[in-house]
Structure formats: C-alpha cells, structure tokens
C-alpha cells in the first residue's frame, strides 16, 4: 500500500466522520426542540389549565402564561383545517430532510441550524395535531394582544428568519477555496520558463576568474 493511498483512505474516513457528526447534530437539535416543546406543553396542561381562565400573569397586563387550545396553524391562523396542516407538515419536513441530506456536504452550520429549527418546530406542533387534534399554546403578550403561541412556533419563526438571512447574505453554502486565475498561472509559467532558459544559456566559467596584473 503506497503512502498516498494510505493518506487518501484517512482523508475519506475523516470526511465521513465529519458528515456523520453533522447529520447527528441536525437530527439531535431537531429532537431536542421537539422534546422541549412537548415538555412545556405538558407543564402547561398540568399547571396552567387548572387555573381560573388558564391564566398566570408573569408581568400583569404585559406578559402572561395563558393555556389555549389552538385548532388552526401557528399563532391561531386558519382554524379547523387539521388534515390540511398534517399533510403540509409531512411534505414540509420531508422536503427539508431530503434537501439537507443531498446538500449536507456544502451547507454551512448556520444553514443546517435553521433547517433543524424548522423541522423541530414543525414536528412539535405536528405531534399535537396528530394525537390531540389541536395545539397547546400558552405564551401571551397581553400588552400588544399578540396571538398566543408556544415553543414550537418560536423555533419555526427563528428558523425561518435564519434561513432567509442565509439565502440573502450567501451564508447557505460553503465557499470554495480560492484558485489562481488562468492568466496568473500562464504568467507564472512564463516567468519560470524564461528563468530556466536564461540559466540554461549561461556558459559555465572556464578556468576560474582571470587574474588582473597590477
């Protein structure tokens, strides 16, 4: 086995380990988001729902924890379209996962993070719709009467913002290593050739340096 072949095997294995770790990170982040979302919803059911009106003011008239059952999309939009949302979520998650596995070798970590946020948030609400028929929401900015939302909604929004930023600013793909332009390569080759010819044209000294009579 030649040294070059040996080092090539090492490089391939290193790349495989890197991409495997990156894929595990993608799946682990999404799974952690789903777990956090389901945990907070469980706590909301256990401790907020029994309260009067399901409401717990953390900052009175500004920010409350308010138990709500949402039969629509994120932030309470389009209520009553459960089959549609289930189908859309399956397609949405499948497209993201397929895209990631096809492009994981050239995507940046920030782009991967945005996709993980989107998948984790979408699956968090998907589980609620699938098994309960509604989504549990509980974050409520009462001061501005903003729609009540949950942890999954937060990660979907953050993931969407990161995804847009990556696309707009070009942070979605790794930049290739810089290569010399053809003109620069030709100029360098010309200089090397000229130098070699000049050295070849020089005649070697015969008999050493001439002595100058004083």
Q: What is the pLDDT of residue 191?
A: 53
Average pLDDT over residues 69-85: 74
Where residue 77 falls among pLDDT bands split at 50, 70, 90?
Answer: low
Q: What is the pLDDT of residue 101?
A: 86
Over 49-97, what HEC string results? CCCHHHEEEEECCCEEEEEEEECCCHHHCCCCCHHHHHHHHHHHHHHHH
- Residue 72 lies inside a defined structural domain of this protein: yes
Average pLDDT over residues 149-160: 95
**b/e map 62-100, b = 16+ CB within 10 Å:** eebbbbbebbbbbebeeeeeeeebeeebeebbeebeeeb
- Residue 53 lies inside a defined structural domain of this protein: yes
Domain span at residue 82? 14-169
80 compared with 130, residue with greater pLDDT: 130
pLDDT-wise least confident of 59-63, 94-98, 144-148: 144-148
**So which residues are the catalytic ones?**
137, 153
CA distances from 4 to 9, 10, 180 (A): 9, 10, 25
Q: What is the pLDDT of residues 158-212, one digit of tens each?
A: 999 999 999 999 876 766 545 544 455 555 555 555 554 445 555 555 554 445 4
* Tokens linked to 150: 């949950």
- Residue 210 lies inside a defined structural domain of this protein: no
* Tokens linked to 63: 């920010």
- Residue 212 lies inside a defined structural domain of this protein: no
- Residue 191 lies inside a defined structural domain of this protein: no
Beta carbons of 158 and 117 less than 8 angstroms apart: yes
Where residue 9 falls among pLDDT bands split at 50, 70, 90?
Answer: very low
- Residue 110 lies inside a defined structural domain of this protein: yes
- Residue 204 lies inside a defined structural domain of this protein: no
- Residue 180 lies inside a defined structural domain of this protein: no
- Its pTM stands at 0.70
DSSP character string of 102-167: HHTTTB-HHHHHHHHHHHHHHHHHHHHHHHTSSEEEEEEEGGGTPPPB-HHHHHHHHHHHHHHHHH
Looking at the 3D structure of the chain, how many domains does it have?
Answer: 1
Beta carbons of 69 and 150 less than 8 angstroms apart: no
Q: What is the pLDDT of residue 153?
A: 93
Average pLDDT over residues 63-71: 92
Contacts of residue 93, defined as CB under 8 A and 6 or more positions apart, other chains included, come to 119, 122, 123, 126
Dihedral sign from CA coordinates of 23, 36, 168, 77: positive
């Amino acid at each position: 086995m030649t040294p070059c072949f040996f080092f090539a095997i090492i490089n391939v294995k290193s790349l495989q380990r890197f991409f495997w770790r990156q894929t595990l990170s993608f799946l682990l982040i999404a799974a952690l988001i789903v777990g956090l979302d389901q945990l907070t919803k469980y706590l909301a059911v256990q401790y907020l729902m029994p309260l009067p009106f399901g409401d717990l003011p953390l900052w009175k008239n500004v920010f409350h924890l308010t138990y709500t059952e949402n039969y629509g999309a994120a932030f309470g939009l389009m209520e009553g379209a459960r089959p549609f949302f289930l189908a859309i979520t399956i397609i949405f998650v499948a497209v993201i996962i397929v895209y990631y596995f096809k492009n994981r070798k050239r995507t940046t970590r920030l782009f991967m993070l945005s996709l993980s946020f989107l998948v984790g948030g979408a699956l968090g609400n998907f589980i609620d719709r699938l098994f309960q028929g509604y989504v549990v929401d509980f974050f409520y900015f009462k001061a501005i009467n903003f729609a009540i939302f949950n942890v999954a909604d937060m990660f979907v929004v953050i993931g969407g913002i990161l995804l847009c930023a990556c696309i707009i600013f070009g942070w979605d793909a790794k930049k290739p290593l810089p290569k010399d332009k053809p003109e620069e390569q030709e100029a360098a080759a010309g200089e090397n050739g000229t130098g070699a010819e000049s050295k070849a044209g020089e005649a070697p000294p015969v008999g050493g340096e001439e002595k100058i009579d004083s």
